């Protein structure tokens, strides 16, 4: 059973699970666009009875439903994030345990490690989430661990790097929009590195986790980072520009000047979160995925340029309709 099955990631999990030979129940608040060969269940995570129905008779649950990509004032709504990402995870796991589900794959985020420059951050690093979204994902992990700890089932937590791809509504899509409109100005040198993950590779990782348990190779509770090889910010921007058919921007603001402006914004209350955006864009965010490669044999297969081309084509097709 896949929660969030009609969503950005969940729909691809359904696709790859079926491709791997799994029978799939699809759970979401909205009907699936294409439910052929899938048992679709429409409901909310707050409805315990519907959740139990969705979990009945299944051997595994992939919990990919969640709240993300909220910008503006809503990005600080901790109560809303906790309701969906923390409490919602607890309810899904409760229903799965009650129904005797053998394995739960919980989709989390590398944001649980917290902000700051990192060099190949692995699963042994302490979790120090910052901000409502990251905190809610960490609390969701803790709720899943607490509820699964006394059961006979297995829990696999997948901490995904920043996702991108068709249907993306996050920071990569926003960056593509700026570059497409010619409104991008380089902050800093662009040499800082980022870990990204194309959505199909993320979905394949979820199915790989299911396959690992089906062959009896799992421990009770484990966590894995999931990421492609890191790329310099300049490589990412260049890949987007190639996909857009636009030149790579040359105009930039030196880091000292940009930092001074960011500091001024903080002093004024930073209503548009300029300082946070600068810090996030210019820092290193690199996460090691060696553990999942060793344990599951999983490696991403979609190159950065190809993934960006697909997202750009999708965005342009949407504007042309």
pLDDT at 117: 47
Give the pLDDT confidence of 252-308 residue by residue, as tens digits: 666 666 666 566 555 655 455 555 666 777 888 999 999 999 999 999 999 999 999
Q: What is the pLDDT of residue 280?
A: 75
Q: What is the tens place of the pLDDT at every residue in 204-216?
A: 999 999 987 655 5
* Residue 188, number of CB atoms within 10 A of its CB: 19
- The pLDDT assigned to 313 comes to 96
Q: Mean of the pLDDT values across residues 18-37?
A: 89
**What is the rounded average pLDDT for all residues in the chain?**
89
In the chain, the domains with their CATH numbers are 2-245+272-320 (3.40.50.720)
* Distance in angstroms (rounded) separating the CA atoms of residues 185 and 18: 43
pTM for this predicted structure: 0.91
Give pLDDT tens digits for 117-142: 467 899 999 999 999 999 999 999 99
The predicted model gives 79-89 an average pLDDT of: 94
């Amino acid at each position: 059973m896949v929660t969030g099955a009609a969503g950005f990631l969940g729909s691809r999990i359904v696709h790859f699970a079926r491709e791997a030979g799994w029978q799939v129940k699809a759970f979401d608040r909205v009907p699936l666009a294409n439910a052929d060969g899938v048992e679709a269940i429409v409901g909310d995570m707050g409805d315990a009875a519907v959740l139990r129905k969705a979990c009945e008779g299944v051997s595994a649950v992939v919990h990919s439903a969640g709240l993300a990509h909220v910008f503006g004032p809503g990005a600080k709504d901790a109560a809303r994030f906790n309701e969906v990402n923390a409490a919602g995870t607890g309810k899904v796991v409760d229903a799965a345990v009650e129904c005797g589900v053998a394995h739960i794959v919980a989709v989390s985020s590398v944001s649980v490690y917290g902000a700051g420059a990192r060099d190949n951050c692995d699963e042994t690093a302490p979790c120090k989430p910052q901000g409502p979204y990251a905190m809610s994902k960490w609390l969701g992990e803790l709720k899943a661990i607490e509820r699964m700890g006394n059961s006979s089932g297995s829990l696999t937590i997948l901490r995904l790097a920043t996702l991108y791809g068709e249907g993306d509504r996050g920071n990569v899509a926003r960056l593509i929009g700026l570059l497409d409109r010619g409104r991008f100005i380089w902050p800093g040198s662009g040499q800082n590195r980022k870990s990204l993950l194309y959505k199909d590779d993320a979905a394949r990782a979820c199915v790989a986790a299911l396959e690992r348990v089906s062959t009896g190779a799992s421990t009770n509770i484990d966590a894995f980072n999931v990421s492609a090889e890191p790329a310099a910010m300049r490589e990412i921007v260049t890949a987007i520009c190639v996909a857009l058919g636009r030149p790579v921007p040359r105009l930039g603001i030196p880091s000292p000047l940009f930092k001074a402006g960011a500091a001024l914004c903080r002093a004024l209350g930073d209503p548009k979160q300029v300082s946070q955006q600068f810090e996030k864009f210019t820092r290193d965010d690199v996460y090691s995925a060696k553990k999942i490669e060793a344990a599951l044999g999983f490696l991403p297969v979609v190159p950065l340029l190809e993934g960006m081309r697909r997202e750009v084509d999708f965005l342009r097709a949407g504007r042309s309709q």
